[in-house]
Structure 1
Amino acid sequence: MKTNENSNRVFSDYIVYVDESGDHGMQNLDPNYPVFVLAFCIFHKRHYSDQVVSALHQFKFKHFGHDLVVLHEHDIRKEKGAFSFKSRQQKTMFLAELSQLIHTHNFILVSCVINKARLKGLPDQNENPYHLALGFCLETLYEFLQEKHQNELLTHVVFECRGKREDDELELEFRRMCDGTNRLGIDLPFEIVFADKKVDSPGLQLADLVARPVGLNVLRPDQPNTAFDVLKEKFYCSGGRRNVGKGYENWGLKIYPPQKSEKPR
């Protein structure tokens, strides 16, 4: 644990990187992807700095010859820029090694999927889906830190910049929730950090890779989803380490509004 000389706050052992998938607006629904997904990737700082950062840079050196390429799920999927693969075999190998990197290195995943189509007509339909998802993720993050006896320490939550207006709205909502406007009814010991899109952050890049597979699994659970098969063992779940890959529904993964058969936790 480290202290900040300026604030005299003690920092927790964890750092959180955040990304999203889908449009959080309610005006236009994409019939192929009518959801908004927010994903929190929670890393233990020692593991992150000692292993995750170096592993990701080594991966980039192997595939690109340098480490300046920023991994974006959209660019990889659409094969844009540095991800213009010479053959199917090369892309298959790239994705397999990237999946193995994610599988090997530890982080805890907390995510919320807002089904915007089901939200219409409900009392919450005028709420910002981003803010609905943020509330769940922050509350669940606190519960995780409480389990680790880190809930009284300051944890930084890192978001990628989206634009001044969007960032200002997000920061206002983040601080409002941390000041007690949350389901738990308590002050949350979190600090928001914004990162420029040009920042080469391994944590933000990994968060970018996980959000869409989660959304696709919720929309089409019977469709093969290799990425989600890896991610489901990362979710915060009931039962701890002995139950990885199980018990994450409505725990580390919340779908809102819930299916009629689902019971809120």
Structure 2
Amino acid sequence: MKYYLFIDESGDHGLKTIDESFPVFLLCGVLISENEFSKINLVVNNTKLKYWNNTNVILHSRDIRKCNNEFKILFDLKIKEQFYNDLNSILTSSNYKIICSAIDKISFIKKYGKLEDDVYEIALSFILERTIFCLDELQDCDTLEIIIEKRGKKEDAKLANHLNKLNQVGTFYVDAERMKKYAVKHCFLDKRKNNNGLQISDLLAYPIARKILFPEGVNISYELIKDKFYTKNGKRYGLKIFP
């Protein structure tokens, strides 16, 4: 069976300047089988049809929170309540696993200095490694396709080189042979391609990042999806916080 790993981010991946109000970079992976993605894709598109009478709307966490662009309809509190109920139902009832990695940028710089111009590759390595752990347990995957939102030609080329290297040599805990077992491949998609898998990843990333930043704060969105994290031997392997 084929699996997808949809990846999106929350926060800035650069280390040159630190936003003190949001000093975390989080990369969120959504691991889902091809069959399950067909189901969630249909439900998401039906939801878009329900509120906009078309499937062209791109679900973007920040726009939803700010009621921007197409989401101005959420200024109507009745529509907002219904929309959030529908969205929460999709996120809680669908069959997928969250595998994400967060970099505490302040702690990272204190420990390692500004060794990299960004931490995207480090976070991605952690996610791919734990995705392989998860697929080993599932035992029904023969192909893994990693789908990442485009950032720019230079950035995408750099990341593609990193992914190719991981395929060739593996990671600290996963050797190249285990990678080859799943015929890992990747592609970059423009946001305008309107991929619902990437949109699900975007919706999940923000509440997880907020939970890391404010662990004692009220975070209803996180509470709804916390059981979706990949767990192994009772431990939450689906959330790696580094360092």
Instruction: Normalising by structure 2, report the TM-score.
Output: 0.92
Residue aligning to 1:41? 30
1:248-263 → structure 2 map (5 Å cutoff): 248=236, 251-257=237-243
| Structure 1 residues 185 and 68, CA gap change in structure 2 (3 angstroms) | closer
**Structure 2 stretches of 5 or more lacking a match?**
none
Q: Is the aligned partner of 1:71 residue 2:39?
A: no
- Secondary structure at the residue paired with 2:194? coil
Identity rate, percent: 29
Residue 124 of structure 1 and its aligned partner are, at CA, apart by 6.1
Q: Quick check: which one's helix share is greater?
A: 2
Structure 2 counterpart of 1:238: 232
| 1:58 match | 46
Aligned match of 1:168:
157
1:143 counterpart = 2:133: yes
How far residue 13 of structure 1 moved from its aligned partner, in angstroms, is 2.8
Q: Distance in 2 between matches of 1:105 and 1:79?
A: 25
Match of 1:192 in 2: 186
**Secondary structure of 1:37's aligned partner:** strand
Contact 2:129–2:171 (CA under 8 A) maintained in structure 1? yes
Aligned counterparts of 1:170 and 1:224: Cα–Cα separation in 2: 35
Stretch moving more, 181-190 or 113-122: 181-190
Q: CA deviation at 1:193?
A: 0.9
Aligned pair 1:218/2:212, yes or no? yes
Shift of residue 96 of structure 1? 2.2
- Residues 1:180 and 1:124: Cα distance change in structure 2 (over 3 Å): farther
> Which residue matches 1:117?
106
Structure with more relative contact order (C-alpha pairs < 8 Å, separation 6 or more): 2
Shift of 1:126: 1.1
The code of the aligned residue for 1:71 comes to L
- Structure 2 residue identity aligned to 1:130: Y
Corresponding position: 1:92 with 2:60: no
* 65, 71, 74: which one aligns with 1:83: 71
Q: Report how many aligned residue pairs link the two structures.
A: 236
Q: How many Å separate the matches in 1 of 2:107 and 2:185?
A: 32
Separation in structure 1 between the aligned mates of residue 198 and residue 210 of structure 2, nearest angstrom: 20
How much is the aligned-residue C-alpha RMSD, in angstroms?
A: 1.5
Instruction: Please name the residue that 1:29 is paired with.
Output: 18
Alpha-carbon contact 2:24-2:104 (below 8 Å) kept = yes
